[in-house]
Amino acid sequence: MNANLKGGLKVLGILAFAAFLMFMAVVGFGEGKMFSASAIKKGLDLAGGVSITYEATADDVSEEEMGDAIYKLQLRADVYSTEASVYQEGTKRITVEIPGVNDAETILTDLGNPGALYFVYGTGNLRYDSANDKYYLTKTIDELKAADQIVLNGNDISDAKAGSQEAQSYVGGREYVVQLFLNDEGSKKFAEATEKSIGQKIAIVYDNDVISAPTVNTAIPGGSAIISGMADFEEADILASTIRIGALPIELKEVRSNVVGAQLGQDAIRTSLIAGAVGFLCLVLFMIVYYRVPGIAASLALVVYVGLMVFFLNAFNATLTLLGIAGIILSIGMAVDANVIIFQRIREELARGLTVRSAIKNGFKKAFSAIFDGNVTTLIAAFVLFVMASGGVKGFSTTLAIGIVLSMFTALAVTRLTLTALYEVGFSNEKFYGIAKQRKTINFVKNSPKFFAVSCVLILVGIVSMIVFGVKDKKPLNYGLDFSGGTSLSVTLPDKYSESMNLELEKLVSDTISKTSQITKVSGENTYIIKTMEIDKDQRAQVVNALVEKYNVDESLIETENISGNVSAEMRRHAIIAVIVAVICMLIYIWFRFKNFNFAASAVIALVHDVLVVLMLYAVSRISVGNGFIACMLTIVGYSINATIVIFDRIRENMAEKNKKTSVTEIVDMSITQTLSRSINTSLTTFLMVFALVIFGVDSLKVFAFPLMFGIIAGAYSSVCITGPLWHFMETHLKKKDEE
């Protein structure tokens, strides 16, 4: 078989594979459209879900107890979706919103009614009913408390998990158990109780119902215990779930549950998809025009990337929100990065006089280390965020990890296979690939004081702005609904307004009190929930009057309530800790791979620089800080580290080939200049995707996309102008001081 025919078959095979993936992404399989884009679980903003409101039964509930309850309910809701949100209404109510489901009764059954949980001494306090094979309390909880018969309560429980272990009663078998985990206070109580209750029962009581009555076989001092005797895993899982549900600092009762519609109408989804399509088309055109035949290979690889992304979002049961769509659109731009690195390398190899075949082979080989290190570093961050964070941050890390792995696969496998096939078909002339032009070395190190000064001024402007607004408005940043909470209005419109009113109501609120809002429709009813930043009595009256005047609403059917932010203080703390740990892990990896601490330190300082510069934009422009802020910052961290590592990889390569006459300054300047085309082109391709969101996206997307666009520029600037010169300073000046 000749090379042309072989290459042609390869091209046809790749086209068929890409077509199959796109068919699967658009149409799917079977009645449920399996593995299609429409089969992906969608968030509240795209497809609606279940909203459940609980109320504390006690009158004297502290803010700390409510905060703890919100955090624990958030962890529980994360089991159903990482995009679930939990927030406080008024002083005693907590609302749980779980996207991607529409059966409130099933969720209520699975989630449970968070009642009170107690562990009770069994002796004298239990009655066994053989007819029902069940234990009952002989005293009320209040009587047991008065008699000091309570061993533990929900505050003492950290977690409970179902599992199995080798059976104690017979050899070779397995038994189903629940592993119980206690906090420090609970561990002390349980150790004392089990020591004096060996051979006796300790009953687990939930909502005055005995759900289990295990016998104590030995004293348990370690803070964890095994509850055995379950017939199957399902029974163990139900017991573990019930214990987790009851492990709340306060007792809650359900007051209402609704199936709610999408917060954003179909117009918002349609415009977002248009933005993605326009950005993708611009990206493909740029790659083909600039890189010629390699650009065609990259475009095919991008089609494969999109198809595989849809497949794996289905496979991992990820929940997709509007910001998730924005993240995927952005990841398409970032997926080009590896291709750009490879193509620039191929052009450099052609400039050295190599044949096209050898240039392609060497281009992939020399680009591998930069692609591998850049992506693995970001993958480490994604893994840490997934393990340590919760809520939307966990969902973001999942999408990020999938995108990283797929971008490496499509660039190193699909692009390579396609490019080789196109060469075999007949595209073997170097004119189809382009040759790198000799670029005059730019004096980045010499001009570094100017670059550092610009960065310091930008960061200082941000700090001063935050101080000024902190003193003036008590708000250094313009915290949005997700962070600071606000006001919720529930309004029932007359039947004639039954069509989707989300965008219209959003505009009404904006025109009336100049505030942004989130609109959710209650499924099966003509009731809409309007959430906006906290408004005073007069502003509430303005909104109510506007609703009455425009829609002839019955004023008595409008309910208002203050709500907390759905990003709790505990979630923010966990997110910040997760990011810090992720950065430390990235620092260690870069240090290990480059065998030079200064590379790692420079990269981390550049990350901090990018975050502070974007923070300056938020502070000065007063853009709302919400969940989009978290996603924006995390994206910038991942994006910036990739660009930095490409430059560091070239410095490492050039340092290995350095002769005695070449100075470190020349190496740094030469390395940055050699990778400048890559830095510009990658930033431009990513910029095109985000710019499309700014032009065509809805307001909620623009609030995310505009700072991200600024962050892309900041990341490119820091990678090119800050990291190399900073490493040079550490390598030349700090080492000298250490040696002295």
Ranges of each domain in the chain: 3-40+264-432, 49-113, 117-247, 448-464+569-739, 486-563
Strands 319-320 and 41-42: parallel
Measured CA to CA, the distance from residue 248 to residue 115 in angstroms comes to: 8
* 478 contacts 622 by C-beta, under 8 angstroms: yes
What is the spatial order of strands in the sheet that 174-182 belongs to? 157-166, 174-182, 224-230
CB atoms closer than 10 angstroms to residue 275: 25
pLDDT of residue 442: 92
Measured CA to CA, the distance from residue 569 to residue 484 in angstroms comes to: 10
Q: Residue by residue, what is the 3-state secondary structure of 594-607? A: HCCHHHHHHHHHHH
Instruction: Select the CATH number that applies to the domain covering 3-40+264-432 from these four: 2.40.30.170, 1.20.950.20, 2.40.270.10, 1.20.1640.10.
Output: 1.20.1640.10
Beta bridge partners of 492: 527
Measured CA to CA, the distance from residue 221 to residue 189 in angstroms comes to: 9
Q: How far apart are the first and last CA of the chain?
A: 68
* 121 contacts 194 by C-beta, under 8 angstroms: no
Measured CA to CA, the distance from residue 516 to residue 480 in angstroms comes to: 9
Look-up: residue for tokens 């490019």? 419
What is the spatial order of strands in the sheet that 49-56 belongs to? 252-260, 49-56, 93-99, 85-89, 559-563, 486-492, 527-533, 517-521
CA torsion, points 286, 288, 290, 293, in degrees to nearest 10? Answer: 160
* 489 contacts 540 by C-beta, under 8 angstroms: yes
CB atoms closer than 10 angstroms to residue 62: 11
pTM: 0.71
* Degrees to nearest 5, angle at CA 81 with 176 and 320: 145
Measured CA to CA, the distance from residue 364 to residue 349 in angstroms comes to: 11
Look-up: residue for tokens 């107890």? 65
Q: Which residues of 288-325 are buried (b: 16+ CB within 10 A; e: fewer)?
A: bebbbbbbbbbbbbbbbbbbbbbbbbbeeebbbbbbbb
**Same fold across 49-113 and 117-247:** no
Measured CA to CA, the distance from residue 591 to residue 380 in angstroms comes to: 14
Query: Which fold would CATH assign to domain 486-563?
Result: Alpha-Beta Plaits (3.30.70)
Measured CA to CA, the distance from residue 116 to residue 245 in angstroms comes to: 9
Q: Which residues contact 249 (CB under 8 A, 6 or more apart)?
A: 64, 65, 68, 69, 72, 154, 155
Residue 73's nearest CA partner among 122, 113, 25 is: 113
pLDDT of residue 739: 44
* Tokens linked to 405: 């792995």
Measured CA to CA, the distance from residue 462 to residue 265 in angstroms comes to: 36
Instruction: Select the CATH number that applies to the domain covering 117-247 from these four: 3.30.1360.200, 3.40.630.30, 3.30.360.10, 3.30.9.10.
Output: 3.30.1360.200
Measured CA to CA, the distance from residue 279 to residue 333 in angstroms comes to: 9
- Indicate the CATH number for domain 49-113: 3.30.70.3400
CB atoms closer than 10 angstroms to residue 648: 28
Query: Which fold would CATH assign to domain 448-464+569-739?
Result: Multidrug efflux transporter AcrB transmembrane fold (1.20.1640)
Q: Which residues contact 14 (CB under 8 A, 6 or more apart)?
A: 300, 304, 414, 417, 418, 421
pLDDT of residue 327: 65
Measured CA to CA, the distance from residue 177 to residue 169 in angstroms comes to: 14
The full length of the chain comes to 740
Measured CA to CA, the distance from residue 180 to residue 488 in angstroms comes to: 38
Residue 640's nearest CA partner among 676, 604, 670, 689 is: 604
CA-to-CA dists, residue 130 to 149, 227, 231, 646, 649, angstroms: 24, 21, 18, 72, 73
Residue 334's nearest CA partner among 418, 419, 403 is: 403
For residue 101, give the DSSP letter. Answer: -
Measured CA to CA, the distance from residue 324 to residue 478 in angstroms comes to: 23
* Degrees to nearest 5, angle at CA 696 with 691 and 698: 110
Which H or E run includes 14?
Answer: helix 3-26
pLDDT of residue 176: 87
Q: Taking the chain (740 residues) in consecutive chunks of 10 residues, what is each chunk's mean pLDDT?
A: 76 90 85 79 72 83 79 74 78 82 64 72 89 88 89 84 73 77 89 90 86 88 84 82 73 76 62 79 90 93 91 82 66 80 91 92 91 85 75 71 87 92 89 86 93 95 92 83 79 73 80 79 78 83 88 83 67 73 86 89 90 92 78 75 87 85 90 90 84 78 83 90 93 61
Q: Which residues contact 464 (CB under 8 A, 6 or more apart)?
A: none
Beta bridge partners of 701: none
Measured CA to CA, the distance from residue 249 to residue 685 in angstroms comes to: 50
Q: Which residues of 719-731 are buried (b: 16+ CB within 10 A; e: fewer)?
A: bbbbbbbbbbbbb
* 164 contacts 177 by C-beta, under 8 angstroms: yes
Q: Residue by residue, what is the 3-state secondary structure of 664-683? A: HHHHHHHHHHHCHHHHHHHH
Q: Which residues of 431-451 are buried (b: 16+ CB within 10 A; e: fewer)?
A: ebbbbbeeeeeeebbeebeeb
